Chains A and B, each alone.
Chain A
Amino acid sequence: DAKTTQPNSMESNEEEPVHLPCNHSTISGTDYIHWYRQLPSQGPEYVIHGLTSNVNNRMASLAIAEDRKSSTLILHRATLRDAAVYYCIRIQGAQKLVFGQGTRLTINP
């Protein structure tokens, strides 16, 4: 069964960069890595996804290791609104998001 491993929680300070790690050691060649976050009392929100190369968008950057067994979500300058549970997800087949346990990110003012 495809699993991802993330720390249960992390803490950072406002306006500092945050690096959220994820291990996916059994990933296969065609599996994409997606990241979603879930703010309190809301549905999950897409953050970023990638396959092999590092990816950037307006929300974050995704750094994927060369062997693809791990990845890191980078929030360049955290704000209080970034406090959420961040899920690293490996796509199974072409349809299924299988959520890992997630990392609860706390941002200190």
Chain B
Amino acid sequence: DTEVTQTPKHLVMGMTNKKSLKCEQHMGHRAMYWYKQKAKKPPELMFVYSYEKLSINESVPSRFSPECPNSSLLNLHLHALQPEDSALYLCASSPRTGFSYEQYFGPGTRLTVT
């Protein structure tokens, strides 16, 4: 199984809502990532988890809160988002962090903030 799954596929939320995005992989990978992608732009790294510990936070606003409950699961908790946070949120995993490992991406969650 070389798949990264993400749920939900689409999410519409108001600025006062709290919601969560979920990402799962069963490849035994120990590094997991969240990226944000705006339309017609490349993905931008948000967070990196290595062995379930947060190793990189790219100065992401606190209204985005990542969580890695176990080695297969990665969540992104959303609270008090702004309309400009509307984007495609991509999750990825790799065997470990490092120069030579390929990352496997999920299909993304398309988030709309109203």
Chain A residues with a Cβ under 8 A of chain B:
30-32, 34, 36, 41-46, 49, 51, 87, 91, 94-102
* B105 neighbours in A (Cβ, 8 Å): 43-45
Min CB–CB distance A29 → chain B (angstroms): 12
Interface flag for B43 (CB, 8 Å) = yes
B45 touches A96 (CB 8 A): yes
Closest chain-A Cβ to B76's Cβ sits at a distance in Å of 15
Q: In the complex, A49→B41 CA distance in Å? A: 22
How many residue pairs link A and B with beta carbons under 8 A? The number is 55
Partner of B42 from A31, A87, A91, A95 at Cβ < 8 Å = A87
Bound form: Cα–Cα A42–B103 in Å? 14
CA distance A99 to B44 in the complex (A): 7
* Band of interface residues on B: 20 to 34
B42 touches A49 (CB 8 A): no
**Which chain A residues lie closer than 8 Å to B108 at the CB level?**
42-43
- Which stretch, B11-19, B79-87, B90-98, touches the partner chain A? B90-98
- Do B102 and A46 have beta carbons less than 8 Å apart? yes
Write out the residue numbers on chain B whose beta carbons fall within 8 Å of the beta carbon of A34: 102
Beta-carbon contact of B100 and A100 below 8 Å: no
- Give the contacting residue for A46; candidates B41, B98, B104; CB below 8 A: B104
Nearest A residue (CB) for B110: A41
